Amino acid sequence: MPNELEIIARLRARAHATDGVRVGIGDDAAVLQTGGGRDLLACSDLMTEGVHFRREWSPPRLLGRKALAVTLSDIAAMGGVARYAMMSVALPRALSAAFIEALFDGMLAYAETNGVAIIGGDTSSSMDSLFIDTIALGECDAGRAVRRNGARAGDVIYVTGALGGAASGLLLLEHGYRFADNLNDATNDEDARSRARTQVMLKHLMPGPHLAFGRAIGEHGLATAMIDLSDGLSTDLAHVVDESHCGAIVRAEALPIAGAVRLLAGELKTEPLRLALHGGEEYELLFTVRPEHHARIAELSSELNVPITAIGEIITGSGLQLERNGAPDVLKPSGYEHHI
Ligand SMILES: [Mg+2]
């Protein structure tokens, strides 16, 4: 069976773009000409029960919120502003009316907070799994969408926020921790760890994409390339260097690993660096910037209160390298990939 990338490549090779398509398949969102001064951005995201989530792991309100948040994250990754969304659901017959109501509550509240209008969708029944498909429409100044293919040798690679949390949260959920349970088990000596567990589970269940920051980067024209971290830093950065026909070097010591991830490393039985490099669903932004724009990007970061970290640079050649203790080694993209 072909893997996810092969399937996308096949569709991409066969899908014919019409005149209005500036960017078709293969970026965070499609970019479409409208004939005016703005381009239309369009993307969709499918969440499948048993693959992307388990019903028993997440309050339905957070599930609805996440379905929309991860889709709007792709609009932010193009440097655009999200305006409209549609949500289609396939609902197992056993699902209660209260569950569905809460799912919509979470989605609608997130839409309202972010100035996004829900304008449609579709519903179907399903045998036994819940499917949530979200489409988002956004816009940016014509020709100004930040694509994956603009990185050039010498650019500095930045990420927002801290890494490894979402993957740690997923591991805890797989180990049997539950978000609601965890709130009640905060005894004194366990307080810090308990808080850390809640923090990383929330990073997985309630991602907070940097919508305003992504939009501002686009409006100021500060990034040469941008992508949101959905599959894992190594895999997502590989998309940028492949599309940009260049290579990248990442400095292990520079990676902003979340404090909670370091605190929980022992019980998670995994190296924090691995989680930061390969853990999926962070919904942080990764972007590349010409060195001369450092001061402006630092200013934007403090203005919008979004921490950023320089983690390496774009180089000529191809592929990824990880520099650890001064020695470079090959970094294999090892983030999440759907095997179909
Ligand atoms: Mg994306």
pLDDT, one tens digit per residue, over 127-179 is 999 999 999 999 999 999 999 999 999 999 999 999 999 999 999 999 999 88
Show the low-confidence residues of the chain (pLDDT under 70). 1, 181-189, 336-340
226 φ/ψ angles, rounded to the nearest 5 degrees: -155, 150
In contact, 80 and 74? CB cutoff 8 Å: no
Record the pTM.
0.94
Distance between Cα 243 and ligand 1 center (Å)? 14
pLDDT score of 164: 97
Distance between Cα 187 and ligand 1 center (Å)? 39
Distance between Cα 231 and ligand 1 center (Å)? 8
Tell me the C-alpha distance between 339 and 51, whole Å.
11
Tell me the C-alpha distance between 248 and 156, whole Å.
9
Q: What does the angle CA 44 – CA 49 – CA 52 come to, to the nearest 5 degrees?
A: 60
Can you list the alpha helix ranges (DSSP code H) found in 158-207?
Answer: 165-174, 179-184, 191-205
Q: What does the angle CA 235 – CA 32 – CA 223 come to, to the nearest 5 degrees?
A: 45
CA 251, chain centre distance (Å)? 21
Tell me the C-alpha distance between 96 and 297, whole Å.
47
Quote the radius of gyration of the chain (alpha carbons, Å): 20
pLDDT score of 340: 40
pLDDT score of 199: 95
Distance between Cα 211 and ligand 1 center (Å)? 13
> 82-107, pLDDT tens digit by residue?
999 999 999 999 899 999 999 999 99
- Surrounding ion ligand 1 within 5 Å at CB are 28, 74, 228, 230
Distance between Cα 290 and ligand 1 center (Å)? 22
In this structure, are strands 247-251 and 319-324 parallel, antiparallel, or unpaired?
parallel
* Residue 92 structure tokens: 């197992």
pLDDT score of 294: 94
Distance between Cα 326 and ligand 1 center (Å)? 31
In contact, 24 and 147? CB cutoff 8 Å: no
The 3-state DSSP class for residue 264 equals helix
pLDDT score of 18: 83
Query: In terms of C-beta density within 10 A (0-12 exposed, 13-18 middle, 19 or more buried), how is residue 44 classed?
Result: middle
